[in-house]
Amino acid sequence: QSALAQPASVSGSPGQSITLSCTGGDSDIGTYKFVSWYQQFPGKAPTLLIFEVNKRPSGVSSRFSGSKSGNTASLTISGLRPEDEADYYCSSYVDGGPFELFGGGTKLTVL
């Protein structure tokens, strides 16, 4: 099973809105609503940002939002801040295989 496809890096300016993409296939993102997004700072454990495509856990800023269209999921960060600079990973439930499949991760730089 190949990893979900994410751009290796993206960059944006403070205050800007930016969208990170995550592309899978018919057996994962295309079929299931169980798409999640995680944020990871260097040397730290990941934290859950979005689950079930567009739900935010308690305590996560409303600046983070998720969506899905076909086989591609997206994470939008509005009002970009320097502290948003981190690695972002998507994941999806997989049909008939391992429970979860992660993307390769996107490094977000806030210029």
Partner 1 sequence: EVQLVESGGGLVQPGKSLRLSCAASGFKFDDYAMSWVRQGPGKGLEWVSGVNWAGTKGYANSVAGRFTISRDNAKDSLYLQMNSLRTEDTGLYYCAKAVGALDEDALDLWGQGTMVIVSS
For binding to partner 1 (CB under 8 A), which residues are involved?
Answer: 1, 3, 32, 34, 36, 38, 40, 45-48, 51-52, 57, 87, 89, 91, 93, 97-105
Strands 86-93 and 106-110: antiparallel
Q: Closer CB to partner 1, residue 26 or residue 100?
A: 100
- Residue holding tokens 């490094």? 107
Contact 90, 103 (CB under 8 A): yes
Q: How far is CA 30 from the centre of its chain?
A: 15
Q: Closer CB to partner 1, residue 64 or residue 102?
A: 102
Least Å distance, CB 68 to partner 1, is: 14
